[in-house]
Amino acid sequence: VEPKTQADPELKSTRQYTNMTAAEVRQALIEQKGYSEEHLPSERTFRTILNRMNYRLKRIQKAKPLKKTAETNAIFENIQAVRAEARSDPETLEISIDTKAKVDLGEYSRGGKKPE
């Protein structure tokens, strides 16, 4: 995590900050240093090691979305077409229901947390 580490900006604590999760640290060792998966400890062990080294999870206010759904425009176009068809049919009753779906898109990726 050294290249992606920052100190406390106010220098009031010995805590260090990084934008890498324990899983990302493990994956970086595999990809960049050539370790095999069976020779590395588990993600949970990496998390424990990072905690011992004074890295903690910290709530963040904003994060860029992980990805944008490519089908968003097509979904809304389909909804508009179905609504127009239903509204033109006098035998059809239109009922509007507001529902919320939980997906990993939006302003808060990783649950709004980052390692610190």
The answer to whether 99 and 6 have CB atoms below 8 angstroms apart is no
Taking the complete model, does pTM exceed 0.75, yes or no? no
The answer to whether 57 and 113 have CB atoms below 8 angstroms apart is yes
pLDDT at 44: 93
- From first to last of its 116 residues, the chain has per-residue pLDDT tens of 666 666 666 667 776 667 778 898 899 899 988 999 999 999 999 999 988 888 766 655 556 666 677 788 888 899 899 889 988 998 888 887 777 665 555 555 555 555 55
DSSP secondary structure, 11-31, as one string: --SS-EEES--HHHHHHHHHH
